[in-house]
């Protein structure tokens, strides 16, 4: 799985610069990996950066490193432990999932 990163001079960058697109939360990446029926590898390009899949900045490094480790060792317990990481942005992500409309502007950047 390759979570989206905003590349330069693309239509996605056009929308991202206007606040109309936000790369996925790392929580979403963890959720997809956790729910997958098979081992799915993932190396989030630009993970933790504003153009790449990211959370709040405080928890990004640990989660990106864990996702890369999981891709190599297929340890599902690691993904479960990462999903239990305590960070304030987890509640923000849950709010976004419940409140954001897919046809509207993203609620966070």
- Binders of Zn ion among residues 7 to 46 (CB under 5 A) are none
Q: Are 86 and 55 in contact (CB under 8 A)?
A: no
Kind and range of the H or E run holding 82: helix 76-83
Question: Looking at 32, 45, 56, 78, which residue binds Zn ion (CB under 5 A)?
Answer: 56
For the bound state, the minimum distance from the C-beta of residue 38 to Zn ion, rounded and expressed in Å, comes to: 28
- Start-to-end C-alpha separation, the chain: 22
Q: Which is nearer to Zn ion, 91 or 102 (CB)?
A: 91
Pseudo-torsion of CA 14, 17, 68, 81, nearest 10°? -130
Q: Find the part of the chain contacting Zn ion (CB under 5 A) among 18-26, 32-40, 54-62, 74-82.
A: 54-62
Q: Which is nearer to Zn ion, 23 or 55 (CB)?
A: 55
Q: Does 55 bind Zn ion (CB under 5 A)?
A: yes
Q: Each residue of 82-107: b (16+ CB within 10 Å) or e?
A: beebebebbebbeebeeeeeeeeebe
For the bound state, the minimum distance from the C-beta of residue 8 to Zn ion, rounded and expressed in Å, comes to: 26
Point out which residues bind Zn ion (CB under 5 A).
55-56, 58-59, 87, 89
């Amino acid at each position: 799985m390759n979570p989206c990163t905003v590349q330069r001079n693309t239509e996605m960058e056009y929308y991202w610069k206007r606040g109309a697109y936000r790369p996925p939360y790392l929580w979403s990446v963890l959720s997809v990996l956790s729910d997958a029926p098979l081992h799915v590898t993932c190396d989030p390009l630009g993970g933790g950066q504003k153009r790449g899949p990211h959370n709040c900045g405080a928890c990004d490094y640990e989660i990106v490193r864990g996702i890369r480790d999981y891709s190599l060792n297929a340890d599902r317990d690691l993904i479960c432990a990462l999903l239990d990481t305590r960070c304030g942005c987890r509640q923000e992500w849950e709010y976004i999932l419940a409140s954001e409309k897919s046809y509207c502007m993203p609620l966070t950047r």
